[in-house]
Structure 1
């Protein structure tokens, strides 16, 4: 009897994860279906182009950084969009609070000749600038809520706390990556845990520490080069504003489809609080926590609970479907072929 290949197992596991996500979200899907009669479908249809714009901006935040480091200069726009959809699927559908998505994206980029350390730093840089722009927009949203009088104390404190936490996270992350000895210690802990797990599972294979040490050394060098030439962060930083604006606009549009036009500042704070909650809760796509936290923030800001629940549940159901539909095929193709688009004779990424 021939056992399935590793690629097949990865596909099976991913399919099971997607099935679990759909099963968990199914009550929301049913509720969303029943609420369609209350929706202005012309406004609600805007979710599709906004979602695609968010995916494209997310991809450009990553690719623009890599291009500034001499990588992917010949990538075609359609290829960039395709890979952005695939990376978005991996980041949102695979569990582990985004860690699995980072690992997958680094592997995919490595098939294009990008070292794993550079691919990982590119993603961390994207997250870093996104957090910084997120904090700036949160501060602006807080000021707007104070001026307009639409912000309750709980909403304003939530905005302040999340904005500060995002900035602190970026500073701590850079501080850790600048310390080579600390990185080596972390690598040692990871290696010991991995070896212990292999003993428990009775896997007879020796883990070599050299590749892991080379990887963390690569991270350290990439950070030093980045700090020496921070201009490579300018384009990703500008794209990060588009990412945050598009993601928050998705929920403003969903509420507008129900005839509710909330203060955009409140929408951004609710989006920020829910995003942080989904990062802490490691369920794929933050199913469950995201909706509850976002609705609670909107209600604290004075919105009607029944309409808010219907709008957020419907939006999340549609966005979940869009993430699967747009990204699953490209992800599956990469796993089964174990390669990314190749370079054409003219030096462009096909």
Structure 2
């Protein structure tokens, strides 16, 4: 009997994960279906272009950094969009708090000749500038709510806490990757844990310490080069504002389709609180925690609970469906073929 290949196992596991996500979210899908009669479909239809714009901007915040480092020059816009949809599917649908998505994206970039260390740092840089712009926008939103009186004490404290947490996270990340010895020690711990796990599972394969050390050394050197040339982060930083604005706008549109037009500042704070909660909860796409936290923040800000629940549940169901529909095919094609996008005669990505 011939066992399925590794690629087949990956496809099967991903299909099971998607099925589990749909099963977990199914009650929300049913509730969303029943609430459609209350929706202005013309407004609600705006979710589709804004979601696609968010995915495209997320991709550009990554690709623009790599272009600044001399990679992916000449990439066709359609190829960039396709890869953005694929990466967003991996980041949102695979579990482990985004780690699986980072690993997948690094592998995909390696098929384009980008070193694993550079591909990983590119993603971490994308997250870093996104958190920075997120903190700036959150500070503006919090100040607006404080002046206008449109936010409760709990909402304002949540905004302040999350903003500080994002800044501390970025600063700590830069400090860690700037310490070579610390990275080597961390690599040693990872290697020992991995070897122990392989012994427990009786996997007969040798893990080379040299390969892991080279990888973390590459991360360290990449961070040093970024610090020496901070201009490479300017364009990704600007794109990150678009990403945050589009993601928050999705929920403003959902509420507006029910005839509720909340303060955009409150929407951004609710989006921020829910996003942090989904990062802590390692369920794929933050199913469950995201909705509860976002609704609680909106209700604390004075919105009607019943309408808010219906709008958020409906939006999350549709966005979940969009993530699967737009990204699944490209992800599956990459896993099955392990093929990079074709190169044009000039050596650029087609």
TM-score range (shorter-chain normalised) is over 0.9
Aligned match of 2:339 = 339
Aligned match of 2:304 = 304
Aligned match of 2:179 = 179
Q: Could you tell me how far 1:147 is from its partner in structure 2? A: 1.6
Write the distance in 2 (CA, Å) between the matches of 1:206 and 1:118: 25
Write the distance in 2 (CA, Å) between the matches of 1:112 and 1:74: 13
Write the distance in 2 (CA, Å) between the matches of 1:329 and 1:257: 30
- Report 1:278-293 matches (<5 A): 278-293=278-293
Q: Could you tell me how far 1:348 is from its partner in structure 2? A: 2.5
User: Number of matched residues?
Assistant: 350
Q: Could you tell me how far 1:345 is from its partner in structure 2? A: 1.1
Write the distance in 2 (CA, Å) between the matches of 1:347 and 1:75: 10
Aligned match of 2:90 = 90
Aligned match of 1:237 = 237
Q: Could you tell me how far 1:260 is from its partner in structure 2? A: 0.2
Aligned match of 1:295 = 295
RMSD value over aligned CA atoms?
0.5
1:17 aligns with 2:17: yes
Aligned match of 1:99 = 99
Q: Does structure 2 conserve the Cα–Cα contact (< 8 Å) formed by 1:112 and 1:342? A: no
C-alpha deviations, 1:268-302, integer Å up to 9, x for none? 00000000000000000000000000000000000
Aligned match of 1:326 = 326
Write the distance in 2 (CA, Å) between the matches of 1:253 and 1:348: 38
Write the distance in 2 (CA, Å) between the matches of 1:234 and 1:15: 38
- Report 1:144-223 matches (<5 A): 144-223=144-223
Write the distance in 1 (CA, Å) between the matches of 2:131 and 2:306: 31
Q: Could you tell me how far 1:57 is from its partner in structure 2? A: 0.1
Write the distance in 2 (CA, Å) between the matches of 1:66 and 1:204: 37
Aligned match of 1:124 = 124
Deviates more, 1:315-324 or 1:139-148: 139-148
TM-score (norm 1): 1.00
1:225 aligns with 2:225: yes
TM-score (norm 2): 1.00
Q: Does structure 2 conserve the Cα–Cα contact (< 8 Å) formed by 1:131 and 1:167? A: yes
Deviates more, 1:339-348 or 1:103-112: 339-348
C-alpha deviations, 1:150-189, integer Å up to 9, x for none? 1100000000000000000000000000000000000000
Write the distance in 1 (CA, Å) between the matches of 2:177 and 2:234: 20
* 2:73 alignment partner, SS class: coil
Q: Could you tell me how far 1:347 is from its partner in structure 2? A: 2.1
Q: Could you tell me how far 1:251 is from its partner in structure 2? A: 0.1
Aligned match of 1:54 = 54
1:72 aligns with 2:63: no
Write the distance in 2 (CA, Å) between the matches of 1:300 and 1:169: 26
Q: Which runs of 5+ in 2 are unaligned?
A: none
Write the distance in 2 (CA, Å) between the matches of 1:258 and 1:348: 46
Write the distance in 2 (CA, Å) between the matches of 1:98 and 1:36: 32
Q: Could you tell me how far 1:149 is from its partner in structure 2? A: 0.9
Write the distance in 2 (CA, Å) between the matches of 1:9 and 1:119: 24
Q: Does structure 2 conserve the Cα–Cα contact (< 8 Å) formed by 1:85 and 1:327? A: yes
Q: Does structure 2 conserve the Cα–Cα contact (< 8 Å) formed by 1:251 and 1:312? A: yes
Write the distance in 2 (CA, Å) between the matches of 1:133 and 1:6: 39
Runs of at least 4 residues off by over 3 Å: none
